[in-house]
Structure 1
Amino acid sequence: MTFARPPFIEEIRAEVQATTHRQRMQNSMRTQLRRNPDNDLFKIKTADKWLADDYGKPIARKLMGSLWHEHELCILFADTNLGKSVLAVQIGCGLAKQSMMEPFGCQVDEPLKVLYIDFELTTAQFRARYTHREYGLHHFGEHFIRAEFNPAGSNPILYERYDDYVQDNIESAIKSTKAQVLIIDNITCIGSQTGNSTGALPLMNKLKALKSKYKLSVLVLAYTPKRNIYQPITVNDLQGSKMLINFADSAFALGQSCTQPGLRYLKQIKQRNTANDYGASNVCLFQIKQELSFLNLEFIGYDTEHNHLQRPGTALSEETKGRIAELSQQGLSNRQVADNLKISVATVKRYK
């Protein structure tokens, strides 16, 4: 007489067999990787050997003055609608045409192939920024390549995590374009958990691995939500975990000046290979400007950050007033608007 096993017993047996198979595959792959020392997690040499092997190699060239050097992983962060995408395109276009923006020096003596992965703008929105009714379309040249996110992309059935699927497609784009510079707009779109150290660590490790593997210079854009407009910009303003900054080679931020509409300032936040040339005492001032068919940030001088922060007791800037109206129209309460902009509820009511 035979007895059929209950369905849940069969499910447990199948799960155990599948797990065992996965473990065997993982162990087999680890064994194969160990055969090649180049795939080891750690490369071990004496300190003298490290120095001797690196001696005589060319020094990393400046891509954007002291803000960003060749083969660095750099982060550019700013609040929404301040022009960080405009700045990133301007930087990429400059490297692709071998003409860098003022006032930053560039030591590259040949055009670089730039891959700009755009998770933010549609084709129509991008065209609107770089088209003029009289002068037509802006010419970026063959070295500036833009990749636009396709929401209807193929279903990643071979991936357990969508983030892995996106990151693997980025690597494929790097290989197919032979890019030397990678710009990603923005980092939250390639890692769904960048707001905590658990999610930020593997993402930054992946970017650093791509940087080393393909000898890339990488610039990633990020947000500064709920920034206090009365305080200077710091690493604490970067959205999510400080792990992002900790693993970056360099970082700079774009801030809003409270002195006049459209005025921005750029501040150096982190650097490893150079001095801090553009800190709080010497920020760079820019005005967003449409030059023929090219939207860009025009350099107008230097100043201290303190002179461009909102001061208690003074009237809010026109842009901050606009942000109050914008957030209110989105349905946020007075308290939520105040918390978002780091101002009082009474101020929100006054300018709503």
Structure 2
Amino acid sequence: MPPPPVVITGIFEGKLRPVALFQSPKNRPKMTQNHSAVRPDFIEKIRAEARGVTYRPAKRKKEVAPPPDPDECRYLFNVATGNRWMELGEREPTPQMLFGELWYQGELAILFADTNVGKSVLAVQIGNSIAEGKPIAAFALQAEPAKVLYIDFELGLMQFYTRYTNAQGSYSFTDRFIRAQFNPNTGLPGGDSNNDDHLIAGIEYRIQQLKATVLIIDNISCLRGGTESAHVALSLMKNFKALKNDYNLSILVLAHTPKRRNPGVPLSADDLHGSKLLMNFADSAFALGTSAADPHLRYLKQIKQRNTAQIYGEDNVCLCRITKPGDFLQMQFEGQSHEYLHLRTRLTNQQVLAPKVAQLAAAGYNQRQISNELGIAVGLVNKLMER
């Protein structure tokens, strides 16, 4: 039996009344729980271990930041009348061509192409042209010779050396062309030398040190940490824009096209690998494609422009091919053409596949094996073998 309650007296509302200090569970009044109180994580962990279950911390609600004060943001925009902007515009120097109508001074430009097409060859050629003050045939160079910083994430030392040497000797670059090679063993805090913020800071340091006015980055894929998120792309483009504005730079960024790009479709802004924010924040862009009519022929196409009308569009692409007339690997330009003549059509596709089918057939492959090897229909294999 439960112990009898201990009764004492107390004064309530001016009257003497008995109060039970110890009551049986049956008669004890129910206590309301405070659901608003949050137990510390270590208490919840102990409770979970006592029950023999896995502790899973509850998701905390994110604190919502208060809206910004408009008065604190009053300097975000420079405001003037239309006529005042026209007066200021008259004082600005006219942008000069760096690579014809494809890239002007003060622009953030993007050059994109598939792997092994030759965009690094062209980028070094453009950088060397600007540093020497000598134009590349068919493309005007209006600017004075400038100091060029070429950030190379692609080639190693011997690969770069081999491209610009031959049996007679090596090419002599001007001292205004400066190449930088990524060094991962820098001993940064946490060993995070591949962090985008650290890479941008390292590039900024060299710009300050060398007083370069032209920056070429080969290529942006090495700066994106293997991600294609819009957030990362936006952050990178903001960094490049800030560098361009802070140091009055002209920037050329190299990028890739998707690996599974349809070779029968004209090159466009949609072919820039990753987020389209890269293209949206660029001042100009041009692409390098491979001709389906000749695997050694390339064509250059203007994709985006702000300082000029489109000159090298779909009906007037520039033809070129990789050559090495001496000790300098370069693109040699061969005139203009319509882009559709260099796209992969059904006929050109058969012309490319026919020698491969013949080679496999000569090696003893049957139609089914050739079909599996090339990833084409058996009917197409039979048709090509008949031809």
Task: Compute the TM-score of the two structures, normalised by the length of structure 1.
Answer: 0.78
Instruction: Supply the distance in 1 between the matched residues of 2:120 and 2:336 (Cα, whole angstroms).
Output: 22
Give the conservation status (yes or no) of the 8 Å contact 2:111–2:288. Answer: yes
- Name structure 2 gaps, 5 residues minimum: 1-39, 44-67, 361-370
Contact 2:233 2:278 (8 Å CA) reproduced: yes
Q: CA offset at residue 153 of structure 1?
A: 2.3
Q: Tell me what 1:230 maps to.
A: 264
Match of 1:52 in 2: 87
1:264 aligned residue (276, 294, 298): 298
**1:1-352 correspondence to structure 2 within 5 Å:** 8=42, 42-48=76-82, 49-108=84-143, 110-134=144-168, 136-157=169-190, 162-192=195-225, 195-225=228-258, 226-314=260-348, 315-317=350-352, 344=376
Please say if residues 257 and 309 of structure 1, whose CA atoms lie closer than 8 Å, have aligned partners that are also in contact. yes
CA displacement, residues 134-155 of structure 1 (integer Å, 9 cap, x when unaligned): 2x11111100000001122222
Partner SS for 1:220: strand
Go from structure 1 to structure 2 and tell me whether the alpha carbon gap of 1:281 and 1:156 turns closer, same or farther (over 3 Å shift): farther
CA distance in 2, matches of 1:337, 1:116: 39
Give the distance between the partners of 1:61 and 1:300, measured in 2 at CA.
24
Assess, with a 3 A threshold, how the Cα gap between structure 1 residues 160 and 289 changes in structure 2: closer, same or farther: closer
Give the gaps of 5 or more residues in structure 1. Answer: 1-5, 10-29, 326-333, 339-343
**2:11 aligned partner:** none
Bigger-Rg structure (1/2): 2
Residue type at the aligned position of 1:98: G
Distance 1:335 1:114, change over 3 A: farther
Q: Percent identity?
A: 47
Greater relative contact order (CA < 8 Å, ≥ 6 in sequence): 1
For residue 280 of structure 2, what is the amino acid of its counterpart? Answer: N
Deviation at 1:65, TM superposition (A): 1.1
Paired residues, what number?
306
Q: Partner letter of residue 238 of structure 1? A: L
For 1:55, what is the secondary structure of its paired residue?
helix
If the length of structure 2 is used for normalisation, what is the TM-score? Answer: 0.72
Report the secondary structure of 1:95's partner residue. Answer: helix
Contact 2:214 2:251 in 1 (8 A): yes
Q: Which has the higher helix share?
A: 1
- 1:191-237 Cα deviation digits (max 9, x unpaired): 22662211111110110010000000000000002211111101111
Distance apart, 1:272 and its partner CA = 0.9
